[in-house]
Amino acid sequence: GAGVSQSPSNKVTEKGKDVELRCDPISGHTALYWYRQSLGQGLEFLIYFQGNSAPDKSGLPSDRFSAERTGGSVSTLTIQRTQQEDSAVYLCASSSPAAGNTIYFGEGSWLTVV
Amino acid sequence: GDSVVQTEGQVLPSEGDSLIVNCSYETTQYPSLFWYVQYPGEGPQLHLKAMKANDKGRNKGFEAMYRKETTSFHLEKDSVQESDSAVYFCAPPSGAGSYQLTFGKGTKLSVIP
């Protein structure tokens, strides 16, 4: 597609439930990133993929968080047993050396855990 | 890893004031520097970039000079407008084989009309 697409745009879930957030990067972009942004805060790096592999998972806050990428394209961020502190906007982004390494962000998935 | 330090918190200039938002980085290994801007309710987007030392990035009246000797990439504007109000993020240097992972903490620009 023309831009990075994320779904759902909004998700309200009960504490303890699992959620999946999906990201469709820009076609041909080899790098894909997940960030978390709490209200009024900065960009917290979670994980990035180069192709289907994740060289850096250092930002995942706990083992309840996992992510995968398949076919060098779509990525899914999964949060298990959600907690209220997981409430935030989850931003996906992609980039490519061929595109000058500029990071292109999606509009984000707003997660609210009640 | 690569990192940046930028002016934190909120900046409250009046319309027509000049602006400088500081950004300093630690590495000179990679050639390109970026500023991103985030408007309310949207994801961040590229604001301007400089591809090598001594280059100047420009966009919407904003400028940033890539100064290798002082490892800085400060964002400047002579006369801010209310429409410039947003959060600005400085990104660490990047290039082929590197990835921008840790952004600056963000500077919220709120221009007083």
For the stretch A21-32, pLDDT in tens is: 999 999 999 999
**A53 contact B CB<8A:** no
Structure tokens given for B1? 């890893």
Residues 64-83 of B with CB under 8 A from A: none
Q: What is the mean pLDDT of chain A?
A: 93
pLDDT, mean over chain B: 88
Q: How confident is the model at residue B26 (pLDDT cuts 50, 70, 90)?
A: confident
pLDDT in the model for residue A97: 83
Nearest CA among A105, A27, A23, A99 for reference residue B51: A99
CA-nearest residue of chain A to B88? Answer: A42
What pLDDT was estimated at residue B55? 92
| Residue B35 reports pLDDT greater than 80 | yes
Among B23-27, B29-33, B85-89, the least confident range: B29-33
**Closest Cα in chain A, distance from residue B49 (Å):** 9
Q: Check residue A102 and give its pLDDT.
A: 86
pLDDT of residue A29: 92
Give how far B18 is from chain A: nearest CA, Å: 24
* pLDDT value of position A96: 87
- Count of other CB atoms within 10 angstroms of residue B24: 17
Instruction: Say how many CB pairs under 8 Å bridge A and B.
Output: 57
Q: What pLDDT, on a 0 to 100 scale, did the predictor assign at position B2?
A: 62
**How confident is the model over B27-41, as a mean pLDDT?**
82
A52-56, B44-48, B72-76: lowest mean pLDDT where?
A52-56
pLDDT of residue B104: 82
Q: What is the dihedral of CA B55, B58, B64, B66, to 10 degrees?
A: -20
Q: What is the pLDDT of residue B38?
A: 95
Query: Torsion over CA of A91, A97, A99 and A102, rounded to 10 degrees?
Result: 40
Asked if B100 and A106 come within 8 Å (Cβ–Cβ), the reply is no
- Mutation site, A38, A102, A104, interface B, largest B CB count within 10 A: A102
pLDDT tens-place string over residues A70-104: 988 999 999 999 999 999 999 999 998 888 788 89
**Cβ contact (<8 Å) for B100 and A56?**
no
Angstroms from A63 CA to nearest CA on chain B: 20
Return the residue in B3, B99, B105, B107 with the most chain A beta carbons within 10 A, the one to mutate for interface testing.
Answer: B99
Separation between Cα atoms, residue B80 and residue B107, nearest integer Å: 15
Q: Give the model confidence (pLDDT) of B62-108 as tens digits.
A: 999 988 888 899 999 999 999 999 999 998 766 555 666 678 889 99
